[in-house]
Amino acid sequence: MLDLAGPLGPSSGTPADPPGPEARTPTKPGASTRLGTSARLGTSTRPGTAAGIADAAREAISADHPAAGALLSLAELLAVSPYQLSRAFTREVGVSLTHYRNRVRVGRALDQLEDGATSLAELAADLGFADQAHLTRTIRRHTGHTPTALRRLLASPEGP
């Protein structure tokens, strides 16, 4: 597998990796869809703080929550203003919300390419990209390679 670890932005002192699958919080029928409290998020930070907002946003993106696809819907989900979400996220994580969300989507794309996904158009649609060209541009921006080149790299046997 390709190693894409490392800082996500020039001002980032630490990598901003999304939480693993164990951090996902299942939604119960009839439960509120807002993620505004740390109790529902399983985080130790205080809700309403920049760290709490950023953690909640990272968790929603990691869990692929439907509202995590756009700033306005994610801000509404977290019960904060879009401005507050954008500023808090960038301050705490070191990269913009869009950059982080795209990085997570690129990781999912790489997983699917490694698993043998053949249609880039279907992959783009499944991951919420506008079209195949948007997927290709974003993957190239984050990895330095096109999806087709990455597919070849992932398929090649790893030798000494």
Q: 70-80: per-residue pLDDT in tens? A: 999 999 999 99
Residue 7 CB: number of other CB atoms within 10 A? Answer: 13
Rg for the chain (alpha carbons), in Å?
17
140, 146 contact by CB (below 8 A): yes
Q: Which domains does the chain have, with CATH numbers?
A: 35-94 (no CATH), 98-155 (1.10.10.60)
Task: Quick: pLDDT tens for 50-63.
Answer: 999 999 999 999 99
Between 126 and 157, residue with greater pLDDT: 126
Contacts 24+ apart (CB under 8 A), 35-44: 35/59, 35/60, 35/65, 35/77, 35/78, 36/78, 36/79, 36/80
Q: What percent of the chain has pLDDT over 70?
A: 69
pTM of the model: 0.69
Residue 117 — very low, low, confident or very high, per pLDDT cuts 50/70/90?
A: confident
The yes-or-no verdict on residue 32 having pLDDT over 50 is no
**129-135 mean pLDDT:** 94
Residue 34 — very low, low, confident or very high, per pLDDT cuts 50/70/90?
A: very low
